[in-house]
Chain A
Amino acid sequence: MSEAAKVDRQPYWLSAPGLVLFLAMLGTPLLLTFILSFYGFDFTKGIQPGFSLNNYIEVLGDSYFHKIFGRTFAIALAVTVICILLGAPEAYILSRMRNPWKSLFLIVILGPLLISVIVRTLGWALLIGGRGMISELLQALHITDSPFSLMFTTTGMIIALVHVLVPFMVLSVWASIQRIDPQAEDAALTLGASKFTVLRRIVLPQIMPGVLSGSLIVFALTASAFATPAIIGGRRLKVVATTAYDEYLNTLNWPLGAAIALLLLVANVAIIMSYNRFIERRYAKIFE
């Protein structure tokens, strides 16, 4: 009996150091920020301890913030849809390649995930800016006469974000393609199904879980993206993350910034949870 109890305690001792670290260094900061979001702020006196829902009322009631939250989630939706349209076919094409090429292109596609988002966003700024390469190219080809810039536009932001996030979609669809039995496709073809029917009835249903979990990652990461919207969108096209940044480091209204950040966290978690539940209900059989 005592031996059994001793064995049972082992995993708790092993995870204790990490748990203490996480409670102290992650739990406490989040809790402090939660409390901070109920404080007041005065431009002359600074942060005023207390308890009021004013910050939340301001964010949820002000059309200025509605616009920012609306823009953020609209961009996240657009980026997710484009990532599906580009990433899912690419993963499928990749799976049908042969092996030196398959591994090579997998690394080319996934490698950018490890390169700093600053560097990748800088690349787009160089390409789409007013004196950027795309503008010069279009002018050299006489497609357009005047400089052409996508900097500080929503379109530019979406293009750069798709570039940053599409590897996650390829990754996720790729993982679900690995489970497909290639013989099912052959069987369907032998039985006289057209290529399109095979794609629609055999391939698509099987990669759907990958598409869904990929969309979840892409959506959540786009909604909370900071560096790319800040560089491409600039000061005018604010998203939630850059707004929180401005409240913290420019206006110094930390309580309001805390409320904005926490609303982003809650929205993100709510979307992830409900989406997960939807996937589990819809695709329970595939995940088992």
Chain B
Amino acid sequence: MKKNGPVELVFHTLFILFLVAPLAAVVLVSFTDKGYLSLPTNGPSLRWFKTIFDYPGFIDAFWMSLYLGLASATIAVAFAIPAAMAIGRYRFKGRDAITGFFMSPLMIPAVVMGVSFLRFFNQIGLSGTFIGITMAHTILVMPYALRLVLASITGLPRDAEQAAETLGASRWIVFRRITLPLILPGIAGGWLLAFITSFDEVTMSIFVASPETMTLPVRMYHHIAQTIDPLIAAISTVLIVVTVVLMLALDWFYGLDRILVGKG
């Protein structure tokens, strides 16, 4: 293994600075004590973090995003497990097409999904409902859940299952007592990634969310479109902290590089 020279290290430092700079800017501005955008020149102040509680709209939106993430990630994983068993364990006609269909939300622009759900929910009377937006998010996060569950099933040695089968266990018992516990890290990782994706999603939700089902990113978008103030920076800082905590959890369960690099 060769070492990086000075040119490489300078490039690397600038690259990391470029990536971190906007996040650092958000965090710094959120600690200001001024009434306008500025750096915390008089030392850090929690003024704007306290102000968040004067805006029930943001608090409600936070809970909405939380419930929505919990519901859609759970439903997506429930559908992803049997589908992953089929795709990971069997060679059958239409397998590639089915896999492609489940993965298609990654390829369809979020705007297209947004306008399609808007029209669909209007037609069937689900517009502005929690059920509607939950279904939309379930579709959106399904590829993430499926990919991780599938990766853990594909990499699984089958000897324990075969032993149980030989000893007379039914298919269901084999699945529940042997397979399920073994793929649990993949399921947990897939669930968390699905949750984060749902929690962060903005483009599709803008079309589907009503005032009653407005998610936090959508409310933040509408706020930023009007005005950019330290309040929105404070809310963003809270979001960054929440994401970092979830990221550490994801790393603990499954290994962050494994998820993101996509190796099972």
Contact = CB atoms under 8 A, between A and B. Distances in A.
The answer to whether A and B interact is yes
A33 B119 contact: yes
Contact of A126 (B12, B29, B101): B29
Contacts of A272: 107
B71 to A, nearest CB: 14
A191 to B, nearest CB: 16
Given A29-B117, A96-B4, A248-B118, A112 B239 contact: no
A133 B260 contact: no
A211 B217 CA distance: 31
Interface stretch (A49-57, A58-66, A257-265, A278-286): A257-265
Contacts of A112: 19, 23
Given A26-B139, A93-B8, 19 more contacts: A11-B89, A11-B92, A15-B83, A15-B98, A18-B142, A19-B101, A25-B139, A26-B104, A89-B11, A90-B12, A93-B4, A96-B4, A106-B257, A109-B16, A110-B260, A120-B23, A123-B25, A133-B25, A261-B111
B21 A123 contact: yes
Interface stretch (B43-51, B160-168, B179-187, B228-236): B228-236
Contacts of A1: none
Nearest to A28: B120
B92 A257 contact: no
A243 to B, nearest CB: 10
B243 A11 contact: no
A277 B228 CA distance: 44
A117 B200 contact: yes
A184 interface: no
Contacts of A21: 79, 138-139
A115 B86 CA distance: 32
B206 interface: yes
A254 interface: yes
A36 B12 contact: no
Contact of A163 (B18, B83, B86, B138): B18
A114 B239 CA distance: 11
Contacts of B15: 86, 90
B22 A123 contact: yes
Contacts of A224: 109-112
Given A11-B95, A33-B112, A118 B243 contact: no
Given A93-B12, A118-B224, A163 B82 contact: no
B37 interface: yes
B130 interface: no
23 contacts: A10-B90, A15-B98, A17-B79, A17-B83, A18-B83, A29-B116, A32-B120, A32-B123, A86-B18, A96-B8, A103-B257, A111-B247, A117-B202, A119-B220, A119-B240, A123-B22, A125-B224, A126-B26, A133-B25, A175-B263, A178-B261, A231-B225, A241-B109
A91 to B, nearest CB: 10
Given A18-B142, A36-B119, A122-B233, A90 B11 contact: yes
A125 B196 CA distance: 24
B203 interface: yes
Of residues B113, B120, B220, B225, which shows the largest number of chain A Cβ atoms within 10 Å of its Cβ? Answer: B120
B171 to A, nearest CB: 9
B120 A29 contact: yes
Main secondary structure of the interface of B (DSSP, over half): helix
Contact of A254 (B79, B119, B206): B119
A78 interface: no
Contacts of B243: 111, 114-116
Contact of B22 (A110, A163, A227, A241): A163
A193 interface: no
A30 B116 contact: yes
A17 B102 CA distance: 12
A257 B115 contact: yes
Given A10-B86, A19-B98, A111-B244, A127 B117 contact: no
Interface string B1-29: 11110001101100110111111111001
Interface string B222-264: 0011001000110010011001101100010000110011110
Nearest to A159: B18
Contacts of B262: 175
B259 to A, nearest CB: 9
A96 B228 contact: no
A74 interface: no
B101 A171 contact: no
A86 B10 CA distance: 13
